[in-house]
Amino acid sequence: MSQEEVSSENISYLNPRVFSILAQNFPTNNDEVAVPDISSEEGNFLRVYLRIKKAENFKHVYAINNNTLHCKVPPANKIVKMYKFSKIFGPHATQSEIYNDVVLKKVTKFIQGINCTLLTYGSSGSGKTFTLQGTPTEPGIVPRALEYFFQTLPALPSKPHIKPTPSGGIMKLSSSESAQERLTVTNLMKHSGDPAQHFRTYSVMQQHLKDNPVGVIDDDISDVHLSVWVSFAEIYNEHVYDLLVTEPKRGHPRKKLRMVYFNNNAYIKDLQHINVSSAAEAYFLLRYGLQNLNYASTAVNDHSSRSHSIFTIKLAQASDSKSGVSVSAFNFCDLAGSERLKKTNNVGDRLKESNNINASLLVFGRCIHAVRDSQKLKNSQLMPWRESKLTQLFQNALLGNESISMIVCINPAREMFDESQHVLNFSAIAKDVAVERQQPIQRLKINKFDKDSVILEEDLTSSLEELHNYLAFLCNEIEQDGLNHTEYLEHITSTYKKMIENTKKVWENTCKDVETCIEKHNQELLQSSTSPIKSRKRKKMSVVCIDTSSDEENQVPNKTKEKRKQKGSQELQKQLCQLQMERDANVVELENLSARNKALKVDNEEYQALQKERKELETQTVIEEDILADLNRYLH
C-alpha cells in the first residue's frame, strides 16, 4: 500500500457559527437562535450535570434549589444532604434541553479541532442509555449531535482521501484504498438483519430535529480535505472488543483487543474506524454496534447493559495549501450501571459481570479522587490508571487535556435511595476536579538516523509498557479473584447450611413417623393376640360345650394367626432396615458437607495468601518504577 502519513502542526480550518435551520436548510440573519456562549463553557472544573428520572414520589425524597439537590434520608427524613452540580435537569426536562445545555457547545468545539468526552454515569435503570440514544420520537444526545455535526459540515466526498492514525497524524489514501474503506459500511449492511429499518428510524428522528439549530461555516475551505470516521468499542469483563465487526462463526470466540500507548496516550490497537459520509450512516453503525453489545436481565433492570461502551466520532482535516492538519475526536461513553448484589440477586455469569463492572467503576472513582486530592494538595502521587481499561482510555481527558463533561443519572424511587447516594457521592468528588490544560512533557529528541538509539528507545518503551500492563493485570486479577471468592464462599456456605437444616428436619420427621408406625403395629398385634383368649374364657364361664372335634382341628386357627404375626413382624423389620439405610445415607451426606466446608476454609486461607502476594507485588512495583525512573533520567 502506498500510504503516506502526514504529521505536522495541529490546526483546524473550521470555525462554525450557530443558526437555526429553515425548511430548505439555508440560514438567514432573521433565524439566529440564542445559544450559550461557547467560550465560557468550561471554567476551571469538570462539568457535572444531574438528570433525574421521572417518578411519582420524587418530592418525598428530593428537592431542587437552583443547582443544588437536597436529599431527605429515609425513613424519618430528618437528615438532609446537599449536592451541587453545574446544572440539574428535573424529571420533566426534555432531551432538547439537555442537548442544548450540555452537548451543543462541545460539538462546536469538536468541529474546531478540540477533543471532547461525554460520560453518562448512574445506577442500573436510571436512564443513562435513554439520555444517550433516546427513541424515534425523543432522539437522544447522540442522534442530535450527529444531525448538527453533519448539517454543519460541507458536503463530504463519496470516497475519503485522508484517514487519521493512532499517533494523531493523517494518512493519505490512494484511490484503491479509498474505495476499500467505503466497502466496509456496505459489508456491514449486508450482514445486518434489516439496515433499512435503522435508516427509517433516523428519518423519523430527522423530522423531529428539523427545527433545531445548525452551524454555518463562512470561511473558504475549498482546498480543505475532510473525512469522518466512526468506531465503537466495548469493555466487557475487563476485555476490549470491537462492536463494528461481523459476528464470528459459531463456536469461535470474539477477538479480544489490547491497549497500546503512544506518547503516553492510550488507544485500542486494531480497533476498526469506519468512514461515513452522512449522519444516517453513522446512526446505522451505532445501532449495529448496539446489537452486538452485551445485555441481560437483572432484578433491577430487565434490559441492563453488562459492559461499558464507547462510541467515537473522529474528524480529520488537511489542506492542500497549508501544512497544518487536525484530528479531533468526540467520545460518547455509556458506563455500565453500578450495582449492589443484594438488589440485583445476580449469580453465575451475572455475578461475574457485576463484579467486573463494580471493580472498574471503583478504579474510575479512585482515579478521580486521586486527581482531586493531588490538585488540592499540589503534589504528585501515583494514579491507578492502569488498573482498569476504562481509566486507561480516559486518562488524558481526566488529567485536563481534553474537554470532558459528565451526566449523572439517578432514579428518585425510594427503594433506589442507597444506589443514588453512592452515585451522588461520586459526582461530588468529580465536580471538584480541575480541567486546566496541561503543558506537554518536553523530551530530548533522538536522532532517527541513529539505529542504536532508536532501537534502545523502542525497547525501553515497550519493556516499560509491558511491565505496567502486566502489573495492572496481576493487581486486577488478584482483586477480582478476591471479590469472586468472597461472594462464592458466602453463597456456598449459606446454601450448605440450608441443605443441612432441611436434611435434619426431614430425618427428624422420618424418625417420628417410623416410631409412630411401630407403636401402632405393636398395639394392633397385642389387641389381635389377646382378643381370642378373652372370648374363650367367657365361653367356658357361661356354657358347657361338648366338643367332638379333634385337637388337631383346634390347632389350625392358632397356627394361621401365628403365621400372620410372623409375616407382620417381618414387614416391620424390612421397613426398619430401609429406614436405617436412609439414615446412613443422610449421615454420609452430612459428612460430605462438613468436608466441603473444611475445603472452603482452606480456599479462604489461599485467598489470604494471594492478598499477601499482592502486597509484595506492589512493593516490587515501587522498586521497579524507581529503576525505570533512573533509566529515563539516564537517557534524557
Residue 569, C-alpha cell as written in the block = 413382624
Strands (E), 297-432: 304-305, 308-319, 325-334, 403-410
Enter the CATH code of domain 16-21+41-342+352-432: 3.40.850.10
Q: Is 636 helix (H, G, I), strand (E, B) or coil?
A: coil
pLDDT tens digits, residue range 492-531?
777 777 788 888 788 788 888 877 887 777 777 777 666 6
Q: Which 3 state secondary structure label does DSSP give 414? A: helix
- Write the burial class of residue 53 (CB in 10 Å: 0-12 exposed, 13-18 middle, 19+ buried): buried
Whether the pLDDT of residue 93 is over 60: the answer is yes
Q: Cα dist. 226→223, 407, 427 in Å? A: 10, 30, 37
Specify the length of the chain in residues.
636
- The grid coordinates listed for 175 are 484511490
* pLDDT tens string 43-64: 455 788 999 998 777 777 888 9
In the predicted model, is pLDDT for residue 391 greater than 80? yes
Residue 322 half-sphere exposure toward CB, CA atoms < 13 A: 16
The pLDDT value recorded for residue 515 is 77
Q: Which three cell numbers stand for residue 93?
A: 426536562
Tell the burial category of 427 from Cβ atoms under 10 Å away from its Cβ (0-12, 13-18, 19+). buried
**129 has binding-site annotation:** yes
Packing angle between helix 141-152 and helix 195-209, nearest 10 degrees? 80
Residue 175 annotated as binding? Answer: no
Are residues 90 and 52 in contact, defined by beta-carbon separation less than 8 angstroms?
A: yes
Task: Name the 3-class secondary structure at 585.
Answer: helix
The answer to the question of whether 122 is labelled as a binding residue is yes
Strands 17-19 and 214-216: antiparallel
Cα–Cα dist 418/421, whole Å:
5
Q: Is the peptide bond before 75 cis (omega within 30 degrees of 0)?
A: yes
- Residue 203 among known ligand-binding residues: no
When pLDDT is cut at 50, 70 and 90, the band that residue 446 belongs to is: very low
The grid cell for 164 is: 487519521
Domain boundaries, given as residue ranges, for the chain: 16-21+41-342+352-432, 578-635
The whole-angstrom separation of Cα 109 and Cα 145 is 12
Biggest distance spanned by C-alpha atoms of the chain: 145
Contact assessment for residue 360 and residue 384, using Cβ atoms and an 8 Å cutoff: no
Q: Is 128 annotated as a binding residue?
A: yes
pLDDT band at residue 609 under the 50/70/90 scheme: confident
Cell numbers for 305 = 447493559
List helix spans (H) across 400-450.
Answer: 417-431
154 vs 524, higher pLDDT: 154
Per-residue pLDDT at 608 exceeds 80: no
CA 72 to chain centre: 29
